[in-house]
A = this chain, B = another copy of it.
Amino acid sequence: MRHKVILDPAFRRMEEIFHPDDLARLHAVCDVVWGKDEPMPPELIDRECLDAFAIVTTRWRYGELAGLPKLRAILEVGGRHPSSAVIDYDYCRANGIRVLSCAPAFGPMVAEMALGMAIDAAREISAGHDAFRAGSEKYLWDGNVDTFTLYGETVGFIGFGGLAQCLKPPIAPFGCHLLAYDPWRTDQFLKDQGADPVGLDDLLSRARVIFVLAIPSTENRAQIGIRELALIRRDAVFVLMSRSHVVDFEALTTALVEGRFRAAIGVFPQEPMPADHPIRRAPNVVLSAHRAGSIVGDSNLIGRMVVDDLEAMAQDLPPWHMQVAEPEIVARLP
């Protein structure tokens, strides 16, 4: 018997997340319902979900879990596990419903961008490019007064989850010394990963390159504030990739406008940012509108993970590719 899968990925588009080959694999093992860019109409939801085995979605709008007796998997394709206010994870566990997230799919894209922006800031690529356009470029040693390479540097990861795992391989060839701060991981885990577990203050004051890779939680809002920013080395590069939630952005802006350290920023507290926001004029900052995880083609990894796991479950095997909801973690999601 084939499983029924509700495929309702709006706000994402089908072609954004599914390579045709993966979609064909999915149709080969499951009965797919809907599968369009538009949100599934409520009346269709009412009719089709009753005997659905799995629902692929970015936002829960399928009613009470108790009304979906055949449901065994919720595959979220938005980018992170829903809060426990939205999904009753205890009910899911008690009733054999897996809640899976596509979050790791964004890791490679964002890791490449994080590395690229870190090199850009350390080597002053954007700044040097602007100078060249303006006719004020400097050659050889004159062009490298404050630059540095990543080779052998001390690098700090704030947050050591899926994104950190994706950044480790492209950072590895540079032979950096890794510091890690992550209250969701034990020291022993971080050591096993090849990083020195340190406190946040220690990391901020020691690292030459600081990658902010933590996801938002109920505990880390604006965790990096005025006091913490003051610990950062003058010769450091602060790379803010995920998420601005973790930083007191106005305090960061003030520090950068004053030229306290260098930065590369890929996420913002408002998007778009106000036209007159002072971060736009801060020196020694590389700015990128939130777009590190939105590359057509690479985003097909979302669909591949979804199909890999539905294929496994269709064979009565455990899923293996998407991220499983751990109770201790989802309890801390905002």
Contact = CB atoms under 8 A, between A and B. Distances in A.
B119 A115 contact: yes
Interface string A175-201: 000000000111011001000000000
Contacts of A170: 170, 173-174
A329 B320 contact: no
Given A94-B93, A296-B141, A126 B119 contact: no
A186 B29 CA distance: 12
A258 interface: no
Given A139-B289, A329-B318, A133 B294 contact: no
Interface stretch (A42-50, A57-65, A144-152, A224-232): A144-152
Nearest to A150: B112
A295 B139 contact: no
Question: Taking the full assembly, how many copies of this chain does it contain?
Answer: 4
Report the contact-size class of chain A (Cβ under 8 Å from the partner): 35 or more
A22 B256 CA distance: 37
Given A116-B116, A188-B311, A189-B308, A143 B289 contact: yes
26 contacts: A94-B94, A94-B95, A109-B149, A112-B123, A112-B151, A113-B125, A116-B123, A120-B125, A120-B126, A128-B289, A130-B130, A132-B287, A133-B280, A137-B273, A137-B289, A138-B289, A139-B291, A141-B291, A144-B294, A144-B296, A148-B295, A151-B298, A170-B170, A186-B315, A186-B320, A189-B320
Interface of A: 16, 90, 93-96, 108-109, 112-113, 115-117, 119-120, 123, 125-126, 128-133, 135, 137-144, 147-151, 169-170, 172-174, 184-186, 188-189, 192, 271-273, 275, 280-281, 286-291, 294-298, 308, 311-312, 315-318, 320-321, 326-329
